[in-house]
Amino acid sequence: MKASEYNQFSASMQKKLKPDERASYRVLNVRPDPDNFGKFLMPAAYQIPSTDVVYDKTKGEFVTIAAIERIDNDGNPVFLNIVFTASNLGYLFLNGSNPIHQKIYQFVELCNYNSSNKDRNEADNEAIFYRVDNKKEAIEERTLRKLIVRAFNEAQGLDDKKVKEVAMALGIEAESTEEIRNLIEDYAGDNPEEFLHVIEQTSLEGESVIKEAIKQGIIKNNVQESAFQWVETEKEIFKYKKSSNKNYVKELVEYLEENNPNELSAIKTRLG
């Protein structure tokens, strides 16, 4: 095809960035590298086709589009290379003040390889990249960062007993407690959501023990005294400060695990 045969779409399909406007795109399926913190798993370079066929709703027909850099002396198109690189973390950045970027923008906004293109032909074309919503992505990255910090802090705050319980739950094995701690902290940084879920589950197991002991009349929550006590002897197990929206059972479990594990074991023994 001659260059003049490409991009014969309706005016309604024209796309253009303002001179001070920017657009960002990223190749799909970029994943963090579990073995290299801050690195991502993707090809060194991913070049998308420079031509495509799209449907022009105004004309009611298909048109061939292309990212054309220039036209040679015979009227043939010289296509632009549109490449997502690993060195750029899989991103493609376009600037409205750059004429070449304007040509790329026109193409990537209309082509079927763009998963963010609501008019793309999904049936016959596999999406390769998407347009980045900078504000949304910034919020998501900040949320993930907070989650990682929370998980890492939880991992660092585990006592030796809890470290062994969590390691067992995660299938982590090592010779020393310090080695186990390192592996748990690495896991927390790489899989914060799953790690926090495991931490919560180990806490919930302790809570179920306490709740069942209360149900069976082995211990009780003396609300007037703000304390958990043994039913038979009324000996105080743990005294708490009253506060709204506070989980006293969870507080009791955390206290016993850290300060009096023998008492917690005695409660479990009584349950049989």
DSSP conformation letters of 121-153? -TTT----EEE--HHHHHHHHHHHHHHHHHHHH
Residue 137: pLDDT over 70:
no
8-state DSSP, 88: G
Q: According to the model, what pLDDT value does residue 206 have?
A: 82
DSSP state at residue 30: -
Work out the angle between the directed axes of helices 192-215 and 261-271 (0-180°, nearest 10): 60
pLDDT the model gives residue 161: 78
Q: Across 51-65, 169-183, 185-199, which has the greatest mean pLDDT?
A: 51-65
Please choose, from the candidates 190, 191, 195, the residue with its C-alpha nearest in 3D space to the C-alpha of residue 158: 195
Average pLDDT of the segment spanning 37-54: 86
The confidence score (pLDDT) of residue 164 equals 83
From CA 64, how far away is CA 54, in angstroms rounded?
6
pTM (2 decimals)? 0.53
Q: Over 90: is that where the pLDDT of 17 sits?
A: yes
**CA-to-CA dists, residue 250 to 75, 115, 238, 246, angstroms:** 76, 45, 12, 9
Mean pLDDT in residue range 90-117: 96
Look at 89 and 231; give whichever has higher pLDDT. 231
Q: Measuring CA to CA, which residue among 10, 87, 12 is closest to residue 44?
A: 87
User: When comparing pLDDT for 15 and 140, which is higher?
Assistant: 15
Averaged pLDDT, 162-168: 82
Q: Is the pLDDT of residue 218 over 80?
A: yes
How much is the average pLDDT of 92-121?
96
Q: How confident is the model at residue 207 (pLDDT cuts 50, 70, 90)?
A: confident
What does the pLDDT read at residue 13? 96
Residue 204 has pLDDT above 70, yes or no: no
Token readout for 182 is 């390192």
d(CA 238, CA 39): 47
| Residue 62 in this model has a pLDDT that exceeds 90 | yes
Q: What is the pLDDT of residue 121?
A: 92
Mean pLDDT of 39-47: 85
Alpha helices in the chain (DSSP H): 99-110, 134-156, 160-170, 177-190, 192-215, 248-259, 261-271
Return the pLDDT at 43.
84
Q: Count H helices, E strands: the chain?
A: 7, 14
What is the C-alpha end-to-end distance of the chain, expressed in Å?
A: 82
Supply the mean pLDDT for the chain. Answer: 89
